[in-house]
Amino acid sequence: MSQALQLVGRGFCYEDLQVGMRFRTHRRTLTEADLASFVNLTWLTEELFAVADDSDRAIKGRPVPGALVYAFAEGLLLPTMQDTGLAFLNATLEVKRPTFVGDTIHAEAEVTEMRLTSKGDRGLVRFANSAINQRGETVLVYNPLRMLKRR
């Protein structure tokens, strides 16, 4: 009889977390291709993002939409909820400063609130998430409430 292989890459279950727990993700550099793909996919065709050279604009460089930064932060955090995340319930989001093509971001998360659902078979966890650039500057913050599996 063969022994079952352990499944790796599974995210946190409710019981794996505790209020005050903190962690960070790997990094990801935002490229011109990322910006072009995101703008084309979402139709966020604001000239700030769709026009490469505009010497009249106040922000210099190639800024990316805050929605792209948020999406990348969520993607970086995906391994922490792979196969255990059941629902994204709500969040507030605040863009703190511009992010540009060429910036490298990572996400940092802290568990701020935990409680069981009314049936007790799942848990609700609120996080304080930040996207941080290569200079250590916080560029975006949000606080998702997620429903997670229990063991």
More confident residue, 49 or 145: 145
> pLDDT, tens digit, for every residue of 48-65?
888 877 677 777 788 999
* Residue at 134 is within a domain: yes
* Residue at 27 is within a domain: yes
CA dist., res. 132 & res. 50, Å (int): 24
Number of domains, the chain: 1
What's residue 21's pLDDT?
A: 97
What's residue 2's pLDDT?
A: 67
- Per-residue pLDDT band for 75 (boundaries 50, 70, 90) equals very high
* Residue at 1 is within a domain: no
* Residue at 62 is within a domain: yes
* Residue at 90 is within a domain: yes
* Residue at 6 is within a domain: no
pTM to 2 decimal places: 0.90
Q: What is the CATH number of the domain that holds 31?
A: 3.10.129.10
* Residue at 2 is within a domain: no
Domain span at 136: 14-149
> pLDDT, tens digit, for every residue of 82-121?
999 999 999 999 999 999 999 999 999 999 999 999 999 9
* Residue at 63 is within a domain: yes
